[in-house]
Each structure stands twice: as structure tokens, then as C-alpha cells.
Structure 1
């Protein structure tokens, strides 16, 4: 079983925990060839020598009428288990305990606290990119992968992304990826799953 990390922001984490998010989009990295002339061909239906789960794109050279085929594999494949990296901190134990008295309801020192659950506006949080495997609490199994243009998103897809409408999703997308209007994206469908057996930090 392949396991890989994936970064989710607080809104994404809350949507997953609420059962509202079962889909995520990530940009296709096309490399150096001209994105304006690229077209998506298929999922390895006519190129038998390509590895499985490889998506085929093509583009025309600007100086010649030759069509160039370019295989690209998605970062995550069907069956991959993703462990979500999210903004967190570790509980400081007695240094931050404010319970008082004989009864303390604080978690043990070093227990991970997640910003998506509680943000007091004062604590110092660790960025999601720095989360280690041992602190992960959310595991997702990829159930399908497809490639499409960003603007192909439907209202149903938007709901699976945990939002209300494609236009709202696009607005959030362009804050993170402002480089291209309507890029090719990987669409990953997933479902919650248990921590993989033998999971190690």
C-alpha cells in the first residue's frame, strides 16, 4: 500500500471531518511545453506502451506541424492512502494549563492540537507543511483519478469539494494558483479510511 502526504487548509479539514468533502483538485504540472497549445488526449487508451494510470497530453511544435505526445502521471493514484498535513501545535502541558484546582482537563504534554478544531488567536501554530506523520489524524483513500480543465467543474463537483458553487471554488483557487485562468487539473475522489496497518512515524 502506497501512502503519501497531502496538504489541506483549515476549511478543507473541517469539510472532510464533517463528511462534506470527498474530492480535491490539484494542478497538472505540464513542464516546459506551451500550455496554450496543449490538449488532453486520454487516460492511456491508445498508448499501450505507457505505464498504467498515465494520462496522455499533446501539443504542436510552434516551428513544425508535428504533434508531440507527452505522458504525465498524477501524483496520487487509485488506492493511494493520503495522510493529511494540517496546521497544528503540541500541547505545552503544565506551562499552558489554566484549569486550576485538583482536576485538570488538559491533554498530556506533547499531544497534537489542530487549528481546524480550535484557534484562540494567540497560540503559535506550526504550518501544515511541517507536520510529521506521527501527528496525522486524517487518512483518505483515493478511489478515482481523472483529468479535466478547471472550468469543467459542475455544481455537484463543487459540493464534493465542500463548497456551494463552482464560482466560489474558483475564487479560492485563484488565491493559491493565480498563474493560469483555466488550467488542467487532477481531480482526486477519496473516502475516509483508517490509519494503515503498521503505520509508523
Structure 2
């Protein structure tokens, strides 16, 4: 039986909420391949030769790193090792272990500061994902798809009912209002550019497309 590997992956608070709500089932990450892993296509374009995806293969697991805080003196002292007397289930129930994506302000939990996602240890994670598919495509390959068939809805894009049978789309907002898009592709562009910059969007890079489902940790 193939070995199931487990790797960490970073997600912002809005994307964590989208995963928890079941709206986000795919992530796209810029493909970075060394020289020699590209070939020239028939039309003269350089295209990647897919090798092992750094995020894993179908069946592998990803544990989500997100903004967090644990109100335990041993944890705060570092280097974020799990104390022997810390029961994770109890810590989640009594607010000792909390997450920024849940909308809590630091003062509401008497927290001096949130800990960045990059510093989250594996024992503190609450979200585990199983990879269901991995492929390579250009960032903007889905341009021109209808709202119904758009591949980018699964990125966690909010589908906002306008009250008249029409829908608008936004990467962060879930209520009707200004700033929404009539095309999911435009909402996807806002999401990508907000994370990676407008230059990255305009470059239309090759990306890893990692589809996943949430599983019980």
C-alpha cells in the first residue's frame, strides 16, 4: 500500500473560512521548476514537464497552517512544543487554543497577539485535507467559462444572490453590495492578485492545481 505523506500548507483567514464552510476545495500555487524541466511545444511555447508536485499526490494529506494562539505559558515560552498537560480537545472547547479565522479579536480572548500561520506547529492544527487530484495549467486557463461552469468557484469564491435571480461573485464578501463581480473569473483575479500581486496575474504563470477534500484529523 502506497505511503501516505503529510505536509503543511499555508492558508489566509478568508480561505480557512472557505474551507470550513465547504466552499474551497482547490488551491492554485505558482509552479517553480528548475531549468531542464521545460520543453518547447509545437507552437514554440515553453511548457512544463510535470514532475512530483511539492504538495503531494492524490491520497496524501495536507495539514493547514493558519493564524493561531494558545493561552498556555509553556507554549508562549517557545518553541511552540506541545505541553504534556495540554489536552487539545479541551483547549479547543475552553478557548485556550483559538484561531484568527474565526473572527475573534485579540482582546476578546485576552490575547496579547496572534501567532502567524508560519509558526503553527502540527499539534495545533485543526484542518486536515486529503489531496484528490493534482494537475498543471496556466493561471488564466478558465477565462471565458460561464458562471455555471467556472472552475474558479471552487477556489472559495462567494456566490452572492442578488435577489432577482442573478448572482454576483466576490473572493471575500458574502453579502450584496458594491465591489462584487458579475463573472467568477474577475473575482478569481482579485483573489490571486491580492495574494501574489498584479504582476504575477499579468504574467499568467503555470500553476499547480491541487484539489482536496477535508478529512477528520
User: Shorter-normalised TM-score: what interval?
Assistant: 0.5 to 0.7
| Greater helix share, structure number | 2
Change (3 A) 1:159 1:194: same
1:90-129 pair list within 5 angstroms:
90-91=70-71, 111-120=96-105, 122=107, 123=111, 124-129=113-118
TM-score (norm 1): 0.67
Q: Which residue of 1 aligns with 2:120?
A: 131
The 3-state SS of whatever aligns with 2:152 is helix
Match of 1:170 among 189, 193, 198: 189
Partner-residue secondary structure (3-state), 2:153 = helix
Corresponding position of 1:73:
52
SS at match of 1:148: strand
For residues 108 and 27 of structure 1, do their structure 2 counterparts lie closer, same or farther at Cα, with a shift above 3 Å needed?
Answer: same
Output the CA distance in 2 between the equivalents of 1:147 and 1:80.
17
* CA positional deviation for 1:6: 0.4
Unaligned runs of 5+ in 2: 74-91, 158-168, 170-183
Structure 2 partner of 1:183 = 205
2: CA distance, partners of 1:173 / 1:68: 21
| Bigger CA radius of gyration | 1
Which aligned pairs between 1:4-19 and structure 2 lie closer than 5 A? 4-19=7-22
Say whether the 8 Å CA contact 1:91–1:108 is kept in structure 2. Answer: no
TM-score by length of 2: 0.63
Cα distance in 2, alignment partners of residues 173 and 143 from structure 1: 22
Gaps of 5+ in 1: 34-55, 94-105, 196-201
CA distance in 2: counterparts of 1:77 and 1:167, whole angstroms: 29
For residues 130-184 of structure 1, the C-alpha deviation after alignment (integer angstroms, 9 at most, x for no partner) is 0000000000000001110000135432211111312112222123323432000
Q: Cα 1:73–1:125, aligned 2, differ >3 Å: closer, same or farther?
A: same
Q: Secondary structure of 1:74's match? A: coil
Q: Measure the CA separation in 2 of the matches of 1:22 and 1:69.
A: 24
Deviation by residue 1:25-51 (Cα, 9 ceiling, x = unmatched)? 001003357xxxxxxxxxxxxxxxxxx
